Amino acid sequence: MRASFGARLTAAVAERGPLCAGIDPHAALLEQWGLPVDANGLERFAMTCAEAFAGQVAVVKPQSAFFEAHGSAGVAVLEKLIAAFAGTGTLVLADVKRGDIGSTMAAYARAYLADGSPLAADAVTVSPYLGFGSLDPALDLADRTGRGLFVLALTSNKEGPQVQRARGEDGVPVAQTMVDEAAARNEGATPLGSVGLVIGATVGRTELDLSRLNGPILAPGFGAQGAGADDLGSVFGEHRGHVLPASSRDILRHGPDVTALRDAALRVRDALEIHAR
């Protein structure tokens, strides 16, 4: 039986350091790498990333939209990319940000979290803004299959505060409600729960109470988007040890050379490890 995602993530970070390397094959980056902006270029990009990162970093995060933009051929490349990391020790976090209700959410869950699905990853990102309870099909299936979820809580886009920092009838910020709901699902889990949060590394002081979370925090925005190692400490404070910084452009700009790409990821990883001591 597969160990829980929280346990597998803890082991991966202990062995390979606290870094989530983004795999974002947008058109401008394909062109920068000298690749055609089509499914063939997408596949060459994806397999180069797999060769560079597999077994080297704790987590990779392919952004599904850039694959879906190429239609069925692009989705096939995403399936191939996910399969390329199987057995390497590097976990795959599929950045799909799915959020829906009822049978539709259950279908999304089967696509990305069910054993036997060609798109099944170790974890996925999900949006709770149809209500946290709408995620129940994904939460239940992830629990049964030893996979994880990263729930959007406080994102760095300028539109986010309109919803995320708003206060409910109880006076509690919506983002804090998401934290509390995730914490309830992680209660008692060891060494770490499998329901994580997404909190942008560039959001500044969050004023969120993360003390009961007992789960990982994905922190996008590290590197090219402006956040540095010091920001991780100021944003997350004593919870810094459970933060998984995500970096994409700062690493991917070193492609298409496999060695240069791998070395860039390892430099970022090493810098994060040094700062965390």
- Tokens matching residue 263: 């070395």
Q: What is the pLDDT of residue 275?
A: 60
At residue 181, the 3 state secondary structure works out as: helix
Hey, what amino acid is at 192? L
Q: What is the pLDDT of residue 274?
A: 66
What residues does 22 pair with on adjacent strands? 61
Q: Examine the residue annotation and report whether 80 is marked as an active-site residue of this protein.
A: no
Q: Is 82's pLDDT higher than 90?
A: yes
Task: Convert the pLDDT of each residue in 16-71 to its tens digit.
Answer: 999 999 999 999 999 999 999 999 999 999 999 999 999 999 999 999 999 999 99
Which of 61, 80, 97, 158 is labelled catalytic? 97
Q: What CATH number did the domain enclosing 142 receive?
A: 3.20.20.70
Task: Convert the pLDDT of each residue in 162-204 to its tens digit.
Answer: 998 889 889 999 999 999 999 999 999 999 999 999 999 888 7
Q: Is 80's pLDDT higher than 90?
A: yes
What residues does 197 pair with on adjacent strands? 151, 217
The count of structural domains within the chain is 1
Q: What is the mean pLDDT of the chain?
A: 93
Q: Is 99's pLDDT higher than 60?
A: yes
Q: Is 113's pLDDT higher than 70?
A: yes
Listed in sequence order, the residues at least 6 apart from 203 whose beta carbon sits closer than 8 Å to its beta carbon are 154, 155, 156, 235
Parent domain of 112: 5-276
Q: What is the pLDDT of residue 276?
A: 60
Candidates 108, 81, 98, 68; CA nearest to 23 is 81
pTM of the model: 0.96
End-to-end CA separation in angstroms for the chain: 34
At residue 194, the 3 state secondary structure works out as: coil
